[in-house]
Amino acid sequence: MEKIGNGLRRFGLIGRNISYSFSRGYFAKKFEGLGLENHRYENFDIQSIDEFTSVISTTENLIGLNVTIPYKQEVMPFMDELDTSAAQIGAVNTIKIEGKHLKGYNTDAYGFQKSLEPFLKTYHTKALILGTGGASKAIAFVLEKLGIDFSFVSRTSKSGGLTYEELSEAIVNDHLLIINCTPLGTFPNVEDKPAIPYEFLGPKHLLFDLIYNPVKTEFLNLGEAKGASILNGLSMLELQAERAWEIWNE
């Protein structure tokens, strides 16, 4: 095991099955570019949120963590303090550690808003959010802020939401912004896609997929074939990572 000097600053990602993760490579490159030889970023691949406390207690010199699927909501009770937006969203994707004090933040909302706004047109007034997990909460928070009406879509009917079976031509034509917050289509399961009626898509639609690997999912491919504008999650991911870096260094 490498000897931990007082000068070492450690960061990491909490998630499950995260060997594919963007964050570790991104921050390793960042540290190298900034000449920060005493900085490390590692994956903490845990099978259950119950392992979170041991990561915190056994990892010396830990400054900050990112949190990914499926723990953005489950990690919240472990926080000593929540940033306003994390509390409002109900999901944490960034943790700042000072001594034994853990403060939870949500930088997904920031990343999503900054990456979406340049592509919004005046007719993007209604959205469909596919999926109801932790990531979808940050998306809903941003859309509300931007004054865009939205409906959640999931496999089973949940209060106030739609099911995939209920997506008629009229509904799809009325909701010109469609955001995939499900993991469907993520590498290696690249054939998977949300079960929306793609035949009703057209040139005014904007499809945003939070997935970044592959860069073009089947969801985006099928939208593009119908003339829709498409965006993957890479820019959002980079922006939220930069915001996390700022928070850790504040």
193 counts as catalytic: no
- State the Cα angle at 118 between 112 and 122, rounded to 5°: 105
Exactly one of 72, 96, 137, 193 is catalytic; name it: 72
- Residue 130 has phi, psi (to 5 degrees) of -90, 115
Strand partners, 104: 82, 95
Q: What strands, in cross-sheet order, belong to the sheet with 162-163?
A: 162-163, 149-154, 126-130, 177-180, 206-209, 229-231
Q: CA 176 to CA 124: how far, in whole Å? A: 6
Q: Give the Å distances, CA to CA, from 111 to 93, 133, 137.
A: 11, 17, 13
| 162-163 and 177-180 strand pairing | unpaired
Q: What strands, in cross-sheet order, belong to the sheet with 62-67?
A: 39-45, 9-15, 62-67, 94-98, 101-105, 81-82
Three-class SS state of 95: strand
| 81-82 and 39-45 strand pairing | unpaired
- 113 and 145 in contact (C-beta within 8 Å)? yes
Neighbouring CB atoms inside 10 A of 223's CB total: 26
Which pair of tokens denotes residue 135? 């990531």
Residues designated catalytic: 72
